[in-house]
Chains A and B, each alone.
Chain A
Amino acid sequence: MKSRELIKVLAFSGLAATVAACASAPAPHSMEMQSEAATLWRQTCAHCHNLRPAPEFTAEQWSVIVTHMRTHGDLTRSEALAISEYLRSVRER
């Protein structure tokens, strides 16, 4: 690949990243948001593997696991935080 093509690839990646980073989602405080987080958790995790039961890990452990899975599951930062918050609420029920 020539340098010019390489620059195009990187420029496209940088542009896509910059444009994408302009949007954000709210934190999950309402019941509706909790429901959305639960759906997102199921959709994202069960897309690749069986869903691990919520009681299997503590809220702190889930927080680390969800952060880890953000890097695999194409989650935004807000979505990952929403799922962590949802799992924390499930653990506290």
Chain B
Amino acid sequence: MTQRIPFYLLLAVVATEPVTGQQAPSAVRGLLTGYASVWYSAEAEKDFHNDFTATISPMLLYQVGDDILFEGEVDLELHGDETELHLEHAQVHYLGLERLQVTAGMFHVPFGIWHHASWINRMPTPPLLYQDTHGAPPEGALLPVLFDVGVMARANLPRVGGWNTSVAAWVSQGPTDGGGHHGPPDPNDPEPVVARVGIGNNFEDNNSDKMVGLQLRSIAPGGFTVQASGFRAKWDHHGELDMYAANLSLIWSPGMHAVPLFDLRGEGVLIGQEYEDGGAVETVRYGGYYFQLGRRLGGWEPVLRWSQLPQSTAAGEVVLDGRRQLAIGLNYWITPSVPLKAAYNVELDGTDSLYLEWSVGF
């Protein structure tokens, strides 16, 4: 069944009448855009571990006529004396229909609202829900910012009372056990009862099952957004154990000014994961949430964020460490796309950290 999913998406496209009479002359237009950051981080502990690092994420936009757009983005990040290179996304969009977009390739999975572009985020660090780790199992966080390979369709419904509503559905490779780690198991790191699951770093799918997801998003005229998204997939090599996730996100950010006067956002995530325990299939549930408020005062922007991941256990083993974090930030916007960001993360269950970031969107 799952192998036929792209066919159904294709059918939806074919069944949708293309817009006529508005075709612009065919032209090819390319644009190199993206963002870059310089970072400083310091942990408030005895040996005062602190680091500088730098990243650049060039993005190529290549448009053919009005209807086809290719996007590709790589992340180059300095780690010690090595430079890490990651493909962030590589996708082609078909945009020739009035209210339907079709995307294929490696794309940002429409699950949640956290954006990975550093000049857009109001904090130098993601909330505990997310950690931008390119698909590897996040350390001390719940999920990486999700990218995966597959096909996605998004439909814009007619506006009703000024509400702009869209529905997105996608099919992609999905999660894999071990976070995509290949090779023999490490004897010093025995397999946990509930395997950590990675998404977006295993492009050789570990089973024949695919992730199937759906998102419903509605934006009110006053800038209030409510969004619900969810997915399910088999995550183990045998394709027998289910994983599902649900996300509810809220944003209130009035967009009638050149800069949003304030931005209030929150997300909650709940994940269910089946595992085998003594031959029986059990389900462990884990999740978390955050709220963030930013307020513009001229070029300055104080930001507060509360994040929490409740501890989760299964078969007497801790699956997810409980963490509570209060992040206190202050941004200064040099230009609309060049912020200086500072944040002090108060870890109620660990070590506090200081972060400084200078980002440029170009």
Contact = CB atoms under 8 A, between A and B. Distances in A.
Interface string A62-84: 01110110110011111011000
Interface of B: 1-2, 5, 8-9, 11-13, 15-17, 19, 22, 24, 29-31, 33, 61, 63, 66, 69, 71, 93, 95-101, 103, 115, 119-120, 153-158, 164, 166-167, 169, 212, 214, 217, 219, 221, 223, 225, 232, 242, 251, 253, 255-260, 333, 336-337, 361
A17 B214 contact: no
8 contacts: A17-B153, A21-B97, A21-B155, A49-B120, A64-B63, A67-B63, A74-B217, A80-B95
Give the interface size bracket for A toward B.
35 or more
A26 to B, nearest CB: 9
Contacts of A17: 12-13, 16, 99-100, 153, 155, 167
A68 B91 CA distance: 11
A15 B16 CA distance: 10
A22 to B, nearest CB: 7
Which applies to chain A's interface (DSSP): helix, strand, loop or mixed? helix
A68 B16 contact: no
A35 interface: no
A82 to B, nearest CB: 10
Contact of B156 (A7, A20, A48, A81): A20
Interface in A1-42: 1, 3, 6-7, 9-10, 12-14, 16-25, 27, 39, 42
B259 A46 contact: yes
Among A14, A16, A52, A78, the most chain B Cβ lie within 10 Å of the Cβ of A16
A60 B27 CA distance: 10
Contacts of A14: 8-9, 11-12, 15
A42 B255 contact: yes
A63 B69 CA distance: 11
Contact of B255 (A3, A22, A43, A80): A43
A68 B69 contact: yes
A61 interface: yes
Contacts of A45: 255
A9 B24 CA distance: 35
Contacts of B119: 49
A65 B167 contact: no
Contact of B169 (A9, A22, A77): A9
